[in-house]
Chain A
Amino acid sequence: MAGSYQRIDYRLRPAKSVERKMLADAFRKLSEFGRLDAYRYIGFGSLYFMDFVLFHKLLGFKSMVSIENEEDATKQRRFDYNLPYKHVKMEFGSSSTVLPRLPWDVRSIVWLDYDGRLNRSVLQDIAYVVSKAVSGSMLLISANASLPSSQTEDGQTASRKPLDQLEAQIGLEKIPAGLQDSDLAGWNVAKILRSVIDSEIADTLVTVNRTRSAGAKLVYRQLFNFHYQDGARMLTVGGILYDEGQEANLAKCGFNQLDFFRDGDMPYKIETPLLTYKEMRRIDTLIPLEAHDFANIPIPESEIQKYIDFYRYLPHFAETEGQ
């Protein structure tokens, strides 16, 4: 979505921050497929380039492309101004027009980090990247996992049922058979969207593989299925694309050792705790916690558990720069 950087300060989203660091942990394992610093990273960096800075620092990526749907030259200057490293190149335009302009002969990590909803254009982007990816590449898709409210503002137009809404976004043929309006509620929307994305990738692979010889067929393995909510419900699903002959490399990567590894329908929920710094420091001193420790801290057990799950990845916010 164009211009969302004007509305969202990307630095203040704890779940997103956790997700980024988890992904960095996962990307590090890609070295079985090739030198990490030779990977190209393609993302939507906004003005803050949080993912670009993190991945460059932790993984050493040198070839990085940030796609920004901003056509106005005066506004584009601000993105160029904020570039964190010369390693990062801006590409202005919608992802659907920028992706075909890029060369595709390098192993890439492509994070299509949309803040809008899944629609036809997103599915076409997915199909395009899958059709172009070289073995060892990663594709991640983030999207808003809710449907627009069925209430209309003026009450004059008939309210749209969830299924009709989804059909308007992605087209009837992409909707899983037998889906009911009642299925499209709460986090279940994210589950449905994951399966829509999964089918799109599978369909594209069938086409791609018809022009590849046996042994060189491209395979997709889902590695991530994050659900999180900094504001809106969000879904991040993604995985690795590799030649079937490189199955052994994939095994050596050991993605399945990651706590947040998810290769199917079951999501990994990122739920960050709401704790004071004093509370966090207290829990830190007790890690690893034993069962009786919980009773000794005056904090709800659920919050302690969330902290233990995520403390390695949690961001720490502080006011700086003069305030």
Chain B
Amino acid sequence: MANPAFPVIDVSPTKEFFISVITRDVTLADAINDLVDNCIDGARRLRPDGNYQGLTIEMELTDTQFTIMDNCGGIPYDVAYQYAFKFGRAAGAPSTDGSIGKFGVGMKRALFKMGSAFELQSTSENSKFKVNVDVEKWKRLTDIDGKDLWEFEFSELTTGASFPEDERGTILTVYPLHSAISEEFKLNTFANRLADSLQSSHEQSMENGLEISVNEIQLKHRLATLLVSDQVRPLKISLNYPLDPDHPDPAKDVTATIYAGISEPNLAASGWYVICNGRQVLRSDKSRVTGWDETTNEVRTPKAHYQFSRFRGYVFFESKDAESLPWNTSKSGVSSESRIYQSAKIEMIAAMRQVIDFLNKLDTESDSEDTLLQAAVEKSKPAKLFSIAPSISFVFPTGTPTSQPKSTRLSFIKPVDDVNFAKEFFEVSTAALAGGKAFEYFLAREKD
């Protein structure tokens, strides 16, 4: 028991430590992506029907400042006052069903990561405000007893007004930038990398009409497809997982929809994609996280698994409660220890093995004179995932006679002197030809 006569030990974090911890393990692109997530959650509040036509998110990266601007409904005053700036998610914070920003760390982490001061200006239906923070000053901000103050201040505030929809939105500016960030922003490669990351993360939102641009270049999106025909049909299964089976709560249930099939041969694009509430967190994964490694390494061959370059798997996790989803806080991967993810992974592996089995057969067929599977692949056309019908198996033509390969390769390694002797004997110029001749020599004598 604590003795009230003794002094208490102050264990509150220093702000320096706090900032260092939250910014350390997030990449710059992931941090910016988090800001975009917040904009999209605004769009979700503004347009619950999911039609984002006319909504835009624009980013501008220069060597002096970063700006992100959207017209996605703005942040209401009470949300800003009570929750939006709070580190961590407060109990009782209002939630947007199916939202993607839920950890209560994304925005602050991105701001601290990028610069030493920022300004956030937002107009919503009934309010308008501005918050300016000089991070260096904020770090030193204390109360009269010298205790750290964990507060931001409004520099402008209007409430109880009414703003038309086209005026609603948020502008966030980080200025000045940390020098390392400024260096990154100078590079074209960074803007490209960011655009690439945003494109793959938000395909679904862009498909719904949202426009995203980086330095005035509008991002393109291409919704995932799988090849479909009468003979080739992707696997599609849906599963429902309670978050905590001992305390069922439908609002926290997670559904997983798994697709596995084939697409164009592209080794870089092949693998698993994991999407949580429309936000892609894993892209063309070929690691143990998705079971790819164990499944494709069944036979260890020096061959670079090119035969699997057509494989595509997609897992969509959806939940009203974003915190139930199996993603990490920087949304750059899955939380592989999640019970829900592990359960889904067993199904993913079973799904993947069906497609890998097909691809192995396709590979074997290419060494024979058959063209059945190849023809079936060529006849199939890309179909968007949502148009694909449920199927517990990956369907492809089976049960037809397969002819064995007519020829196979054999090679020898023999002492150079002996090989030269054989080359002279057979009067050929290369070791390979000598090998072939030697084999023919053997056949002519031993085979009836």
Contacts and interface: CB of A to CB of B under 8 A. Distances in A.
A185 to B, nearest CB: 24
B400 interface: yes
A171 B296 CA distance: 12
Interface string A207-227: 110111110100000000000
Interface string A85-121: 0000000111011011100000000000000000111
A152 B343 CA distance: 41
Given A121-B298, A207-B339, A210-B245, 13 more contacts: A71-B398, A72-B400, A100-B351, A119-B298, A121-B353, A124-B295, A128-B346, A168-B300, A211-B241, A211-B245, A211-B343, A214-B246, A216-B245
Contacts of B300: 168
B350 interface: yes
B242 interface: yes
25 contacts: A71-B361, A72-B400, A72-B402, A74-B401, A92-B398, A93-B357, A94-B357, A96-B353, A97-B354, A97-B393, A99-B350, A100-B350, A100-B392, A119-B298, A120-B297, A127-B349, A128-B349, A168-B300, A207-B343, A207-B346, A208-B343, A210-B340, A211-B343, A214-B245, A216-B245
Given A97-B357, A101-B392, A76 B346 contact: no
A8 interface: no
B413 interface: yes
A156 interface: yes
A93 B297 CA distance: 19
A29 B300 CA distance: 43
A101 B343 CA distance: 18
A249 interface: no
B294 interface: yes
A76 B392 CA distance: 23
Nearest to B398: A71
Contacts of A171: 294, 297
B197 interface: no
B342 interface: yes
Interface string B108-120: 0000000000000
Contacts of B401: 72-74
Contacts of A74: 401
Interface string A258-287: 000000000000000000000000000000
Contact of A127 (B339, B340, B346, B357): B346
A100 B393 contact: yes
A97 B245 CA distance: 30
A98 to B, nearest CB: 9
B298 A73 contact: no
Nearest to A74: B401
B248 to A, nearest CB: 7
Instruction: Provide the main secondary structure of the chain A interface.
Output: helix
Interface string B388-416: 00001100001111100000000001000
A194 to B, nearest CB: 21
B349 A124 contact: yes
A211 B350 contact: no
A211 B357 CA distance: 29
Interface string A117-156: 0011100100110010000000000000000000000001
A204 interface: yes
A218 to B, nearest CB: 12
Nearest to A168: B300
A34 to B, nearest CB: 24
A96 B357 contact: yes
**Of listed A96, A204, A216, residue having the most chain B CB within 10 A:** A96
Please name the 6 residue pairs, one residue from A and one from B, whose CB atoms are nearest each other, closest first.
A210-B339, A213-B245, A100-B350, A207-B342, A73-B399, A101-B393
A146 B242 CA distance: 42
Contacts of A211: 241-242, 245, 339-340, 343
A156 B350 contact: no
**Of listed B342, B350, B402, residue having the most chain A CB within 10 A:** B350
B234 to A, nearest CB: 14
A65 to B, nearest CB: 14
Contacts of B245: 210-214, 216
**Of listed A73, A76, A124, residue having the most chain B CB within 10 A:** A124
A124 B413 contact: no
Given A100-B393, A120-B295, A71 B402 contact: yes
A131 B241 CA distance: 13
Contacts of A128: 346, 349-350
A131 B343 CA distance: 8
A92 to B, nearest CB: 6
Contacts of A99: 350
